[in-house]
Structure 1
Amino acid sequence: MGVVTELRPDRFNDPGFVNDLLHQHGSPLLVLDCERLRDAYRNLCAALPGVTLHYAIKALPDPTVVATLAAEGACFDIATSGEIAMLQSLYVNPRNTIHTHPIKRDRDIRDALRFGCTTFVVDNSDELLKFVRYRGRVAL
């Protein structure tokens, strides 16, 4: 994904500017304002005092988004080994993660534990049984 760091909002009214961005970066194109992302995160935290927010990486698995939120002290909801790899590459603290995939393979559990994520969400007894062998190492 290409990163453009200096964009003035008024430029988006210029079709030529938008076409230049599309030509340079391809389509589809997402233009993200990290300052607005930070503001939205801060506002949500302020509106929900005492709540630990976890950004679901699956919603937008973009390293810039994750790095921006991590810099704000955000926690993360992970569901795949690929998401874990992204967090590792960004040096995100694994203690700031929870694993929420509804159906976990043993490999997914092991990958999460190797990363340092020890909190998992389970919603049925079959999933709960998968954690018997990890008793004492996980929080459910």
Structure 2
Amino acid sequence: MNINRIIAGALIGGAAVLGISVGAGSAEAKIDPGQYKMQSRVYGFIPYPDTNVKVVGNRMYQDFYGVGPSNSSTFEIDQTRRGGITSTLTTHPLMQWYARTEWSKTKSGYRGTNYVLGGIPVADYTLKKTR
């Protein structure tokens, strides 16, 4: 057996076990460009103030607490069949393993769950389109 195939199989298998999205599929349900309001709930029940979010192409810009500059936090979007996966500054699988938010399209916008360290859920988000 070829050693490269063994290594590739081990990496893909490890990524699947850890919940990392590898080849997530077509971008038909991508996160649409525009302005959004985001509500955060840490651990599913601790509410944080609304923040402003702007999506341009494959980047998401967040204004924490709605009072700072419009790009105080930048995320890269890895488009998926259900919506997208955002992670800080890159869509590299290692960064997605460390911290990612998985978004799915809903009737009123998007719903997301934030995961850290391979799959520990720490927050829920809702994105609602404005303007």
Q: What is the TM-score normalised by the length of structure 2? A: 0.23
Of Structure 1 and Structure 2, which has the larger fraction of its residues in strand?
Answer: 2
> RCO higher in 1 or 2 (8 Å CA, sep ≥ 6)?
2
Structure number, greater radius of gyration: 1
Of Structure 1 and Structure 2, which has the larger fraction of its residues in helix?
Answer: 1
